[in-house]
Amino acid sequence: MAPSSVGKAEVIGAYSSEVRKLSMIIFDLVRKGLGLEEGYFGKEHKQKMIVHHFPVCPDPCSTLGMDGHCDPNLITIYQQQVMTNGKLESVAHRAVPNTTQTCTCIGTYFSPANIVVPTKLFFDLDNPPLFKPFKWDTEFFPYYANKKLVYHAALEASKIYA
């Protein structure tokens, strides 16, 4: 099939499918690296793709691009926090325009489909759980969005204080 005859929906669908396959490989590698049982992360993750486009900007210092933030989902290829009881944390970052090139970023985000809980492998009597279980969609994400994408501030509501 010639590229011009392929519709945007088909291209995006194929890309999304391949990124999902890659994410399953990454989940499995993370699982192995953390010493978790096979299938721990499962396959029931919500997938969302967001496109950000930053045109050339003659004076990048005069604009923010995208405010600094931490991604709240299970992975954006580099992020995972509550399930590892804080062992792996989200990295603060931001996107900024530049003077010579446009930039288009396609973020694919994988979020838990169910309740998020710290994994027993990462806590014991000397290292207690740092977070209580919470529902991703109804208890965490709306709070995260309300806190203007400040991930660590949104986690405060789920922290366990001794």
Cβ 103 vs Cβ 54: under 8 Å: yes
Round to whole Å and give the CA distance between 73 and 160. 20
The strand pairing partners of 104, in sequence order, are 53
110 forms bridges with which residues in the sheet? 47, 75
- CA–CA separation, 45 and 43 (whole Å): 6
pLDDT at 140: 82
- Nearest of 123, 41, 134 to residue 87 by alpha carbon: 123
| pLDDT tens-digit readout, 30-40 | 889 988 888 88
102: number of CA atoms within 13 Å, CB side? 5
Pick the CATH number of 44-158 from 2.60.120.330, 2.60.40.1180, 3.90.1150.10, 3.60.110.10: 2.60.120.330
Residue 79, pLDDT score? 33
Question: What would the mean pLDDT of 123-141 be, rounded to a whole number?
Answer: 87
Q: What is the mean pLDDT of the chain?
A: 77
pLDDT tens for each residue of 52-80: 777 888 887 777 666 666 666 666 643 33
> Where are the chain's structural domains?
44-158
Least confident of 6-10, 45-49, 72-76, 136-140: 72-76
Structure tokens, 104: 């288009």
The token duo for 18 is 């391949």
Is 103:95 a contact under the CB 8 Å cutoff? yes
Percent of the chain at pLDDT exceeding 70: 73
pTM: 0.63
At residue 57's C-alpha, the angle toward residues 52 and 63, to 5°, is 75
Phi, psi of 109 (to 5 degrees): -115, 135
pLDDT attached to residue 66: 66
Residue 19: closest CA among 44, 43, 40, 49: 49
- What percent of the chain is predicted at pLDDT more than 90? 2
> Which of 134-138, 140-144, 153-157 has maximum average pLDDT?
134-138
